[in-house]
Amino acid sequence: MKGFKFFLVISQILSLAIIVSALLYTTLLEQTCQWIVFIFTITETIIFCSSIVYVIKPRIKLLIVFLSFQIANALAGIILGLTVVIRDSGYDCHESGNRDCGSFGFTKIERFQFFWFIVIKSTFALFLSLMAIAYSPQVHDFLGEEHDCERDTLNIYD
């Protein structure tokens, strides 16, 4: 249990550090996507707080709340990244003054950086969610005898 709690807290600290560094990067360079990254920073902070609450009181309901926040944030990021790339169709919104850009007015470089950052960050978050499901003691207790049967057949604890 202590190893799982350690993994959960360290992974969320790493995730929060990545998004805060992205917020600093966009703020210092005055990029267009600063407010979007700020919103993702707020949601990542909420996810971090929910993981801390789960570590303090390990209950399956709190794990489900944490995982639902994590998965919803990751899916929203992937959908937003894909929408921005598809909607702009590769045009530079700053150079084409007459063109009404469908998204946030990104340059080509900003759109490229935003898309790959959001997709990689969301993939990392979904991977951590799957790891949390796989190694959570509450999930193993919830599964009960199903998990014990698999353990006996595989003989991995002998």
* Overall domain count for the chain: 1
**Residue 121 class from Cβ within 10 Å (0-12 exposed, 13-18 middle, 19+ buried)?**
buried
Query: pLDDT value at position 57?
Result: 86
pLDDT (tens digit per residue) in 60-105: 888 888 889 999 999 999 998 888 888 776 666 666 554 556 667 7
pLDDT of 113 above 60: yes
**Does residue 145 lie within any of the structural domains?**
no
**Does residue 101 lie within any of the structural domains?**
yes
**Does residue 87 lie within any of the structural domains?**
yes
**Does residue 143 lie within any of the structural domains?**
no
pTM listed for this prediction: 0.74
Output b/e per residue, 27-47; b: 16+ Cβ within 10 A: eeeebbbeebbeebbebbeeb
**Does residue 144 lie within any of the structural domains?**
no
Tell me the two tokens of residue 96.
């084409």
pLDDT (tens digit per residue) in 29-63: 877 778 888 888 999 999 999 989 988 888 888 88
**Does residue 86 lie within any of the structural domains?**
yes
**Does residue 31 lie within any of the structural domains?**
yes
**Does residue 148 lie within any of the structural domains?**
no
Question: Residue 85 is part of which domain span?
Answer: 2-132
CA Rg, the chain, in Å? 20
pLDDT of 150 above 60: no
